[in-house]
Amino acid sequence: MRSQLAIRKYSHNLFVGYAFCIVASIMGAIFFETPTPLLFPLALAFVFQVLVDYEKIYFLLFLSIPISTEVFLTDHLATDLPTEPLIVGLMLIYFLVVLTNPLSIDRKYIKHPLSILILVHVAWVAITTFTSSAIGFSFKFLLAKLWYVVTFFYFTGYLVKDQKKVNLLLWLIAIPLALATTKVIIHHATLEFGFKKINEACPPFFRNHVNYAAILSVFIPFMCYLWKWSVGLKKRILEITLGVLVFGVLTAYTRAAYVALAIIPVAYWIIRLRFVKLAAIIASIGALGILSFLITENKFMELVPTDQTIAHTELSDIVSSTSELKDVSTMERYYRWIAGAQMIAEKPILGFGPGNFYHFYKHYTLNRFSTYVSDNPEKSGIHNYYLMTTLEQGIIGLIIFLLLIYTTIIYGEQVYHQSPTRERRDLVMATILSTIVIDAFLLMNDMIETDKIGSFFFFNIAIIVIIDLINQKEIERSGIHSNDKKDRTS
């Protein structure tokens, strides 16, 4: 009885104290004419939740990924709210867990080949940060890389131990993503689904139509997985939701998304038939062949923009102009890619440092490839993550990143075929296909260090490692049981 009274008294005092904190912060905001004091109650609630149950904060992060919004704190500093503070906070929590209870960390997860490759990737980013041509920008890039890797790969491995929890996280993404997509579609409908109007419909949840189409395309394989293994009302809801996502991709008018979705059925059968290694070899040879062709006798100079290189206002026009190499966005990419190639030639081993493309590329451009959008006032990147990695982290950085990608897909294929149940195999398949969609987007965009895509890149790798370890445990158990039976019969 006394213990119950003590708990009630403690809860009452806690409630009164927090209410006083909220009132004080509101008064402070009014007195100082700034909203900054209002952040104090939120920070206090965050700390309290960390002490009570930080897993809920991890769930909150996944729930907020589809509906996060980019907020400019200054003219040059922006952040994604509420995701980025949550990602950083969870990274700090993970470090605290490692320091206070290192034995709770699964050594098999840390020693997994994919985990080691991620560590090598981050280590090389750190090395090229300290050899950077502008260390300040590179250090910011390194920090962003760290909090994505730690939160979405290592903390996921710490908290998520079974397929049931993976399914929960996918549901936490699916619900707000469906609502955010519905909002964009309704807004776009009021604009008569105009080709040039899609960017007006995307905010506040999506930066632009590319960011919008990317997360929809990346999550569609998971949505198919959830739909297949749901029953009753859930299945009906997911059918509608899947249709909404597909319609959202189609009306996002993003060429990279169309190509990525077209790759999915091909990739599915490649994985089913165990042809991943062969496909990787063919893709590598094809990429090298294209590069060799363009470099030989400077054939890339034939791609110089003409008077017909313009921005188009209709989807049919932009598709035809892309095939004829007359679309301004494609030509602007060539302009930056050529600059990137020349930057690689100057610093092939260590590169210019992570996050430094924008600050140096204009010294390496060829004026003959410039277009009327080459001023780049929005300070966008090179629009090819592989090329960006090479010019910023050197050829070694590219090799490490490609090894991470190839090993993830190859391991995924292996885990897929080793999984004993159909549901588990379907989860692994969805994860691989989602990863391949991201890899396809990286050919035309720089999206790993964004909350809506970077989160999935490392989370997907975590899922493959988690399922692989689950399979290994079951194989070991079955081996032990079979040995016990042999001992008994003997």
Structure-block tokens of residue 336: 């930056």
| Share above pLDDT 90 across residues of the chain, in percent, rounded to a whole number | 55
Q: 113: cis peptide before it, omega within 30°?
A: no
Q: What is the pLDDT of residues 351-375, one digit of tens each?
A: 999 999 988 888 888 777 677 667 7
> Reduced to 3 states, what is the DSSP secondary structure of residue 251?
coil
Buried b (16+ CB within 10 A) or exposed e, 331-365: bbbbbbbbbbbebbeebeebbbbbbbbeebbeebb
Contact between residue 290 and residue 475 where contact means Cβ atoms under 8 Å apart = no
> Reduced to 3 states, what is the DSSP secondary structure of residue 297?
helix
Inform me whether the pLDDT recorded for 5 exceeds 60. no
Residues 111/117/122/127 CA torsion (nearest 10 deg): 110
Q: 377: cis peptide before it, omega within 30°?
A: no
Inform me whether the pLDDT recorded for 153 exceeds 90. yes
> Reduced to 3 states, what is the DSSP secondary structure of residue 72?
strand
Within 10 Å of residue 194's Cβ, how many Cβ atoms? Answer: 14
Inform me whether the pLDDT recorded for 61 exceeds 90. yes
Structure-block tokens of residue 66: 């589809």
What one-character-per-residue DSSP string does 303-341 give? G---TT-B--SSHHHHHHHHHTT-BHHHHHHHHHHHHHH
pLDDT value, residue 79: 81
Inform me whether the pLDDT recorded for 232 exceeds 70. yes
Contact between residue 5 and residue 13 where contact means Cβ atoms under 8 Å apart = no
Contact between residue 94 and residue 158 where contact means Cβ atoms under 8 Å apart = yes
> Reduced to 3 states, what is the DSSP secondary structure of residue 5?
helix
* Domain boundaries, given as residue ranges, for the chain: 20-53
Closest CA relative to residue 81, chosen from 64, 93, 57: 64
On average, the pLDDT of the chain sits at: 84
What separation in angstroms does the CA of 304 have from each of 1, 63, 310?
Answer: 84, 46, 13
Inform me whether the pLDDT recorded for 72 exceeds 70. yes
CA distance 392 to 133: 10
Inform me whether the pLDDT recorded for 55 exceeds 70. yes
Phi (first) and psi of residue 482, to 5 degrees: -65, -35
Can you give the pTM of this predicted structure?
Answer: 0.87
pLDDT band at residue 430 under the 50/70/90 scheme = very high
Amino acid at 441: F
Inform me whether the pLDDT recorded for 447 exceeds 90. no
pLDDT band at residue 138 under the 50/70/90 scheme = very high
- With 0-12 / 13-18 / 19 or more C-beta atoms within 10 angstroms meaning exposed / middle / buried, residue 223 is buried
Inform me whether the pLDDT recorded for 321 exceeds 50. no
Inform me whether the pLDDT recorded for 217 exceeds 70. yes
| Residues sharing a CB contact under 8 Å with residue 437, sequence separation 6 or more, in sequence order | 217, 218, 220, 221, 260, 261, 263, 264
Inform me whether the pLDDT recorded for 466 exceeds 60. yes
| Residues sharing a CB contact under 8 Å with residue 72, sequence separation 6 or more, in sequence order | 78
**E-only strand ranges, 15-168:** 69-72, 78-81
**E-only strand ranges, 77-188:** 78-81
